[in-house]
Each structure stands twice: as structure tokens, then as C-alpha cells.
Structure 1
């Protein structure tokens, strides 16, 4: 028998949805059958699956260990001895890997942190999410950080894994929103979807830009080439997504023929800023993939997620960040190119 005590990260979920995430290899038909037969109970009683979970609710699953492991997708090693279940061993190994990634990446600058979210200044060169199992990413750093600082327990990771909410390219630096709780993830992702949370970037482009403007277009990403292509008018092709980008000049450097820009990302598609600026003849310096000029000592696009502005009308849980602005200062690379002035 497996007993699960619902925590804050699982509360407000429907029981059937929770069970499907906990038992990914079980069909919904099987789950409903187990509920009807009381092989799965909620607070000691028969449940339909439509109930909304609350903190401290208790779910009991009356399966044999082998059956539970099968529906959880945990491989069984018949040669393993001892009393610890494979599921416990599996999560312990996972935690060790995440803590190892956290230590390997090292300390990162935390711009702001509360119970539900953490805003981190990601350095260029660090992946937001791993692309293969051997990668170390900001997402791994987040979980390792929370485990190391006792902000989450291994058992809690069985039903909720903290994650980033906005993804930056490997070589784009700056602010990343990380969700420590399910409520934090839901709230931040809803704001990103509704475009009530505003993201601003700083970058340096070739040539002079003297006026603010708004760019609109349609973007398609070629996954094999890992490159996007933009059309200014609707091509009538479902592969293309609508994109919108705003920018304003901060300063023009006459001797360098470069402009420091602040860019507001209205939509959030892969490589959007890089390709949109190239499309108007002002590519980002160092961004050779999208027409940028090579710069000595710079091996990647100089793009930085500079500030976040949150809406004022947040609920009481997030009153500490409602209407606030958060800034990740420009990395030294900017100053080495345009000077400190």
C-alpha cells in the first residue's frame, strides 16, 4: 500500500489528474476502475476522481509493489536486495544528480526570491533546460538549489518538480523566472500567456537606430538547422507563427557605429529578437547565425534579459511582487565593448 499526503504543490488539482500524473502508465479507464473498487481511496473513502485535492488530503493506493512500479514507469531490478523500494532509490539518485549539477554550476545571482518564485540571472553559456541527459542546466540548478537549502524534499519531487517558466537561448544571459511551487508556475505562466508580465532585453546592434518602433511578422523554425525564418506578411502556412517585437534606442555609439537597444518581447518565439532585428538590417553583434558582425573576444550574440515588470493586479499571495520591476544588470561583456560611460 502506498500512502500519499497532499502538499501545497498538489492542492487544487483534480484527483483523477493527479493520479494520471502519478501513474503515467495507467489508463484513465483503469484508474476509474480502481477508484470504483476502492483500490484507490481519498481520506479513507471511496472517490469518483472529480474531487479537488486540498493540502493534507491522504490518498491510499492498494497495489502490490510490483504493480505500483509498473504503472509509475519504474523499472524493476530482480537482483536488487534490501527493503528499500525501487521508487525510493530512483528519486534518491535523481536528487543526487540535481545536487551535483547545482554544485557544478555554482552560485548564481538571485535577483528576487519568495515562497513561490525565484528570479535568477542566468549567465551566457548555461542551458535553460538540458537537451541531453548529461547536460547541466538552469532547471537542474533550481532543483539542486532547493534540495540543498531544504526548500523541497525528495518525496515532494515525486509529484511536483520546480521548473523555469521562460526559456533563454544558451548564450543569452539575464533574468529567468523559476517556479518553486505549483502556484508559482501557474501564476507566472498565466501572466506570460496573457502578456501581462512584460519582458525587456538589452542588446547591441550594428548601425544607427534613432527611433522607437514596433515589428510584426511571421516566424518559422527549421528544427534541423536550429534556425528561424521571418516573413513580413502572412504566408498562409501553418508552420509560421505570428510574432511582435518592440524596441527603442538607448544610445548610439558613433565611433563604433553600434546602437544599444532595449527590446520588449511581445510574443515569445525561439530566436525572435535575433531574427527580427536581422530582418530590418540591424543584426545583433556577435550573432553570426543571423548576420551579426564578429567582434573580437565575443563568441555569441550579445543579448541580455534585462528587466521584468509585473502587473499590479495580483492576488494577495503575490502582493510582494505586484507592480514591481526587477533588473539584472548588464554583464561585463557589454562594458568591454561600449565602455563604462
Structure 2
């Protein structure tokens, strides 16, 4: 018999979800069968798997050690949580060491906000990658805010994604509660997302763009449609011009703030290109000649898009701090503004 006491990062999830993490090789039907037979009980009572676990709950598994090990459970000397392998821990700590330009903007017991520089992935694209997600776990391990044992049933994670070459604010869940709340807010569109960007040409007035976005997964590219179509998602993007600049070699540029009402792949980049104002430096949807000048004259080689601020709609009852979280402008933004005589 095994007895597992539920800790902070196991609490808040359904029992069947926890069991699936604890015994990764077992099917869901096995868990339900064992619960019906009372071979798996919660706090000494029969359970269904739908129960939401609380801190201090006790899950007892009246199963043979051979059965537990067959289905991927930790060894018999299990003391509450399975320890991550040395290789896993080393990978996270290495990511924390290598990705030195990531900065912490806000942190509490449940969430953490990061300033992700351009060039860093939000999450892995391949096995060999280091991303902000690995950096997050490495940071928590290095600061003794997370143990290798806790990684058995919960991995802190990035909750919103940015393109590799988009800089700015990433929200991360440190605890299961924080992760659940952040993903719920994002899924239910309870967060205001604001971006700073440079657009080619002059945008004269504040406006909201609408349309339909169709993704080509093979090309990892999207196009904007004016009418509904099969597979296309409705999108809505706000734009507010902040300053009109004259950049030598490029011409008229608008420094602006965009609000993302719907979060789809490449939405901001494609939507403004469709509207006739592509982002400076955008390799997929931008102006090639302008991008060459931007690289040669200003030594900038990425789309100038920065996730600047996130605020919760109902700030008084939320997990984010009142007033939201703001991410300072990166150096390339400050360079262009200073070139045009504007104080960043």
C-alpha cells in the first residue's frame, strides 16, 4: 500500500488528473476500475476521480509494488514526491545559466512575470532548445523555490507565448493554482494585452481592425480575409498612434500601441501588413527593402514588436497586481525613438 499526501502543487486538480501524472503508463480506465473496487481511496473513502484535491488530502493506493512500478510510479521509497532525474535538473539549471538576458518583472507565491528578449523562445521548438520555460524552472531550482521532487507531479510553465523575435512580457505559473488562474484568465479573455511597435507609414487615428485569419500550418504563415471562410478565425486588433517619426533611409514611421483583443498566430504582424502598415523588421509580412535598411543602418534585425503591458479586466479580484505589469522598452526601441528625438 502507498499513501501520498497532497502538497501545494498537487492541490487544485482533479484526482484522476493527479493519478495520471503519478502513474503515467496506466490508462484512465484502470484508475476508474481501481476506484470502483476501493483499491484507490481518497481520505479513506471511496472516490470517483472527479474530486478536487486539497492540501493535506491523502491518496491511498492498495496496489502491489510490481503493479505500481509497471505503470511508471516512483520507487518503493517514495516519500511524497518523485525526484526528477539529474539530467532533467541539469538541463533546467543550464538554461538558467545560458539565458542571462531574461529578467524578472514581478513575482509572488503563485505567478512570475518575465521580460523575454528577442531571440529567445517562449517554449521549446525542438529537444535541443533552451527556452524561457526551462529558464523559469532553472531559476526556481537555483533559488530553492522549487525542489527536484516537486517536478514529479507539477512543472511551472509559461502561460502565454511570444514569437522568438518578439520581445516583452511573459506570464508564468509558479504553482498549480497560479497556472490554473492565469490560463483561465487568458482562455476567457479576461486580460488586456498591450504591445508597442513601429509601423511603416503614418497611422493618423486610433482605430480597431477586424477580419478573419486563416493559418497555413505548412508555411507557418497566415493571411487576413475580409469575409468568413472555412478554417478562418475572427480577429480584432486595436491600434493607437503615439508618435509619427521620420527615420533617415526609411521615411515615415508610426510608433504605436496595439491592443490584442483576440490572440491568434502572427495576428498583429499580419493584420497591420494587410492594412498597409507592416511592422518594421518583419521577415514574413514586412517590406524587404525597409528591413535591409533597418539592418544596415540601425543594426536591427527583427520585427519591432514588444509585449509591453498586461492588465486584468477585473483587477480587484484577480491574481495580477492592481495596475497590471509593464515591461520596459528594449534597447532597439529606445534607439529608434532617440534617433527621432523622442524621449523613450
Q: Same fold (TM over 0.5)?
A: yes
**Partner of residue 127, structure 2:** 133
**Partner of residue 265, structure 1:** 260
With over 3 angstroms needed to count, the CA separation of the structure-2 counterparts of 1:228 and 1:47, relative to structure 1, is same
> Quick one: distance in 2 between partners of 1:165 and 1:267?
16
Pairing of 1:25-174 with structure 2 (within 5 A): 25-72=25-72, 91-106=85-100, 108-174=102-168
SS at 1:178's partner residue? strand
8 Å CA contact 1:312, 1:323 repeated in 2 = no
Query: What is the aligned counterpart of 2:182 among 181, 185, 188?
Result: 188
CA deviation string 1:180-215 (max 9, x = no partner): 112111222222222221110011111111101111
TM-score by length of 1: 0.88
1:305 paired to 2:297: no
**Partner of residue 79, structure 1:** none
> Quick one: distance in 1 between partners of 2:224 and 2:264?
11
Pairing of 1:141-290 with structure 2 (within 5 A): 141-235=135-229, 237=230, 239-255=231-247, 256-290=251-285
Once the 2 structures are TM-superposed, how far is the Cα of residue 89 of structure 1 from its aligned partner? 6.7
With over 3 angstroms needed to count, the CA separation of the structure-2 counterparts of 1:288 and 1:93, relative to structure 1, is closer
> Quick one: distance in 2 between partners of 1:166 and 1:231?
25
- Which stretch of structure 1 is more off in the superposition, 21-30 or 164-173? 21-30
Once the 2 structures are TM-superposed, how far is the Cα of residue 154 of structure 1 from its aligned partner? 1.8
Once the 2 structures are TM-superposed, how far is the Cα of residue 10 of structure 1 from its aligned partner? 2.1
CA deviation string 1:77-107 (max 9, x = no partner): xxxxxx999x957534322211111111125
8 Å CA contact 1:311, 1:323 repeated in 2 = no
SS at 1:187's partner residue? helix
Q: Which runs of 5+ in 1 are unaligned?
A: 77-82
- Which stretch of structure 1 is more off in the superposition, 108-117 or 262-271? 108-117
TM-score by length of 2: 0.87
Q: Which runs of 5+ in 2 are unaligned?
A: none
Pairing of 1:9-24 with structure 2 (within 5 A): 9-24=9-24
CA deviation string 1:206-236 (max 9, x = no partner): 111110111111112212211111101112x
With over 3 angstroms needed to count, the CA separation of the structure-2 counterparts of 1:193 and 1:51, relative to structure 1, is closer
With over 3 angstroms needed to count, the CA separation of the structure-2 counterparts of 1:194 and 1:89, relative to structure 1, is closer
> Quick one: distance in 1 between partners of 2:73 and 2:236?
41
With over 3 angstroms needed to count, the CA separation of the structure-2 counterparts of 1:281 and 1:107, relative to structure 1, is closer
**Partner of residue 324, structure 1:** 323
With over 3 angstroms needed to count, the CA separation of the structure-2 counterparts of 1:50 and 1:338, relative to structure 1, is closer
- Which stretch of structure 1 is more off in the superposition, 18-27 or 262-271? 18-27
Once the 2 structures are TM-superposed, how far is the Cα of residue 2 of structure 1 from its aligned partner? 4.1
Once the 2 structures are TM-superposed, how far is the Cα of residue 167 of structure 1 from its aligned partner? 0.1
SS at 2:41's partner residue? strand
